[in-house]
Amino acid sequence: MGVIWPLVRALGDGMLAPFLWMPPVPALVSLSGVTGLVLLAAFRWLTPQRALRRTKDGMSAALYEMRVFSAAPGQVLLAQGRAIWLTLRYLALATPSLLVLGPLLALLVARASLPFEHRPVAPGERVLLCVELDRAVDRSRLAMESELDLLPPRLHLSGGRRVCARLRARRPGVFHVAIRVDGREAARKRVVVDHRYRADLSPTAARADDVHLLLGREPSLDAGPVRRVELDYPRQTLSWLGMPWWLDLLLLSLVVALLLRRRLGVVF
């Protein structure tokens, strides 16, 4: 898993990278349009289009036959059986593409939740930084250093394995907090202050074998005394068309795909 998570994260970052420099709503609309176009092209490439077209035509013919011969029960039963068989065939033809596109779409939504559900710290705002240590590490051996203000007191959670501190930034920029154990730097966490640096937003730094690595945009931590570093970035509510952002994304992508399917000659 240590190799898989970084590859998956890199793929998600690659899909999002062109849109992170836009304000949230234009980024959401642009991402939806590109997603709909890419999904449409991928569906065309991953499915046997001629077989799908013949299957859909057969389904339409079976439904029409049921209406025309409604007074002949035997003929209707035959048409119903043919419609069921063709429906199953259609699903069998489309399933391979759904098995590929479904996880990619889920990954896109998971990675997009980072910039669309969080915002950078504002100058003067306080946030909480938590460090999770290995069981064998005494919390008294941990120290933090940063250009940011480290506000007392430190909080000890989860039986002492998590050590949390409040941070405050005085000016915009991208800063770092160095986490030291026994005087040696064991981890480093990026802190983004001001919306102009939104592309660098990353709430979690984790080891390469940790699923939480998917929630960050930073290099994986070495297998040292620190397991994970989490920054509690402020949450934001992005809603367009009166729905949660991820429903907006899926709906707009579907609309784009439907509008362009005939022009691109895609059957689905």
Tens-place pLDDT, residues 232-246: 898 887 766 678 888
Q: How far apart are CA 81 and CA 32, in angstroms?
A: 39
**Which is nearest to 37 in space by CA: 237, 221, 266, 203?**
266
Nearest to residue 115, comparing CAs of 30, 178, 222?
Answer: 30
Q: What is the pLDDT of residue 5?
A: 57
The DSSP string of 176-244 is: EEEEEETTEEEEEEEEEESGGGGGG--SEEEBTT-GGGGG--SPPBPSSSEEEEEE-PPB---EETTEE
Tell me how many domains the chain contains.
2
User: Are 252 and 215 found together in one domain?
Assistant: no
Q: What is the pLDDT of residue 111?
A: 79
Residue 153 lies in a domain: yes
Tokens 């499915």 -> residue? 47
The crossing angle, in degrees rounded to 10, of helices 24-46 and 73-117 is 140
| CATH code, domain carrying 213 | 2.60.40
Question: Do 81 and 103 have their domain in common?
Answer: yes
Q: Between the CA of residue 161 and those of 38, 225, 236, 247, what are the distances in Å?
A: 44, 11, 29, 37
Contact yes or no for 177/189 (Cβ under 8 A): yes
pLDDT, one tens digit per residue, over 77-119 is 888 888 899 899 999 998 888 888 888 888 788 778 878 888 8
- Does residue 209 share a domain with residue 175? yes
Predicted pLDDT at 25: 82
Nearest-angstrom CA–CA distance, 218 and 198: 14
Within this chain, do residues 21 and 99 fall inside the same structural domain, yes or no?
yes
CA neighbours closer than 13 Å in the CB half-sphere of residue 265 = 4
Does residue 113 sit in the same domain as residue 11?
yes
For residue 1, what pLDDT band results from cuts at 50, 70 and 90?
Answer: very low
Residues 27-56 pLDDT 10s: 888 888 888 888 888 888 888 989 989 998
Q: For residue 96, give its domain range.
A: 4-118+240-260
Q: Is residue 221 part of a domain?
A: yes
Task: Looking at the structure, tell me whether residues 154 and 105 fall in a common domain.
Answer: no
pTM given for the model: 0.72
Tell me the C-alpha distance between 2 and 79, whole Å.
53
Q: Is residue 174 part of a domain?
A: yes
Same domain (yes/no): 170, 113 = no
pLDDT number for residue 88: 92
Tell me, yes or no, whether 178 lies in a domain. Answer: yes
Is the Cβ–Cβ distance between 178 and 185 less than 8 Å?
yes
What is the per-residue pLDDT across 150-164, written as a single tens digit (0 to 9) for each?
888 777 665 668 888
